[in-house]
Amino acid sequence: MMSVSLRTIFAPFILTKKQLKLVSKYLFVLSLTSPNVLLGQSIATDSTKLSFIPYCYGGKDKLEDSIHLDWVQIDKDIIKEKLNKLPAVSSSLTEIKKVIPHFLDGKCNCRSINEDLGYGLKSTQHTIHGGYGSCNVDVIYWGNSVLKLRLTIDNHKEIIEKYLLKVIQLPFECVDGQIRYEKVYSENVQEYLKESGQLFLESADTNYRRRQAINYFMDVMTGGTFGKPFYIMFGLGSETFNNLRFFIVNKDYNALESILFSPSPTSRLFAARTLTYMQDKYGYKPTSDTYRRMKDVLANAQLIRSGIISCWINKFDYDYYDVVGDFEHLLMTQ
């Protein structure tokens, strides 16, 4: 029997009431039903100057052989002919497919992963393989309308520094060790909101810890934990329950209510189950709209799958986690 109290486990995550009051007004919520609506607001991020982008992440091994310029040219062409052009034309899938004809089917040395996120939302993670590296084009979309675009570049530091920086025409940033460019198409978001009522894409909170915790649950794109509905590659995610404990001990209902409207079905499940727990333990009282969303999310809950199936590691089935039934146990042990 574990003797450690929840209070002891949660102690490092506690914010004062004054801190919570200060930061709560900086949530970036996309909603037609909320009284504080912020649409298409630019999100300030910790960024590096473009000249330092090669040092963002040393994910690829150092080049040992002499550089093949024909391979380099493939990487340069992907950036010049595709990535540089996409933000201006990517407000619809139709326009994206004019630049990347196989965006959805992943043919021709590419790979596409398409997911249904629920509530009319879908996502595509499209990988373009080049000479030395690859680029990713990720979108969240509704029908033919793109709501958010993310571009990422993965290549050797030497290739980026000597060759690719000369052709990059977008303000890429170094975010979480990823060379990334993002754009939200606010007009399309507003159209979606007229149909659904609420969507939460990203927090602009001035409190770094809180902003990171919220945005962790919003990311369904390359580099995020929640790209595939009800599946997490490693366990339940490196920071999932740390962040949930952070919200619980601070009684940060606003953050959890925002995550109920995340693009990720998995994140929505974590938020709904945590708020149900806080109803029982802390007397939390959701609004009628929030309560309906909680019930809907829990009614469509699934077991969360985890792991990589491979005969090479003698693993032939996923690990399964019951977040609804085993929540309190997971809260103590994860």
In-domain check, residue 308: yes
In-domain check, residue 41: no
Q: For residue 29, what pLDDT band results from cuts at 50, 70 and 90?
A: very low
The residue from 164, 192, 220 where one domain ends is 192
Shared-domain flag, residues 76 and 22 = no
How many domains is the chain built from?
2
Please give the Cα distance from 98 to 90 (Å, whole number).
Answer: 10
Tell me: pLDDT of 114 over 80.
Answer: yes
Tell me: pLDDT of 327 over 90.
Answer: yes
> Percentage of the chain with pLDDT > 70?
84
pLDDT on residue 109 = 83
For residue 220, what are its two tokens?
């369904």
The residue from 168, 192, 216 where one domain ends is 192
Please give the Cα distance from 270 to 212 (Å, whole number).
Answer: 16
Shared-domain flag, residues 181 and 69 = yes
Please give the Cα distance from 189 to 195 (Å, whole number).
Answer: 10
Shared-domain flag, residues 95 and 215 = no
For residue 61, what are its two tokens?
């091994």
Q: For residue 313, what pLDDT band results from cuts at 50, 70 and 90?
A: confident
Shared-domain flag, residues 175 and 284 = no
pLDDT on residue 207 = 96
Shared-domain flag, residues 88 and 161 = yes
In-domain check, residue 148: yes
pLDDT on residue 54 = 76
Buried b / exposed e across 186-209, counting CB within 10 Å, b at 16+?
eebbeebbeebebbbbbbbbebee
In-domain check, residue 173: yes
In-domain check, residue 314: yes
In-domain check, residue 63: yes
Q: Per-residue pLDDT tens for 214-263?
A: 999 999 999 999 999 999 999 999 899 999 999 999 999 999 999 999 99
- Reduced DSSP (H G I as helix, E B as strand, rest coil) percent helix, strand, coil of the chain, to 5: 40, 20, 40
Shared-domain flag, residues 209 and 311 = yes
Per-residue pLDDT, averaged over 159-163, amounts to 93
Shared-domain flag, residues 221 and 172 = no
Please give the Cα distance from 260 to 268 (Å, whole number).
Answer: 5
Shared-domain flag, residues 177 and 121 = yes
In-domain check, residue 102: yes
Shared-domain flag, residues 157 and 234 = no
pLDDT on residue 151 = 98
Shared-domain flag, residues 181 and 263 = no
Shared-domain flag, residues 19 and 65 = no
Shared-domain flag, residues 254 and 162 = no
Q: For residue 46, what pLDDT band results from cuts at 50, 70 and 90?
A: very low
The residue from 148, 173, 192 where one domain ends is 192
Range of the domain at 239: 6-29+203-333
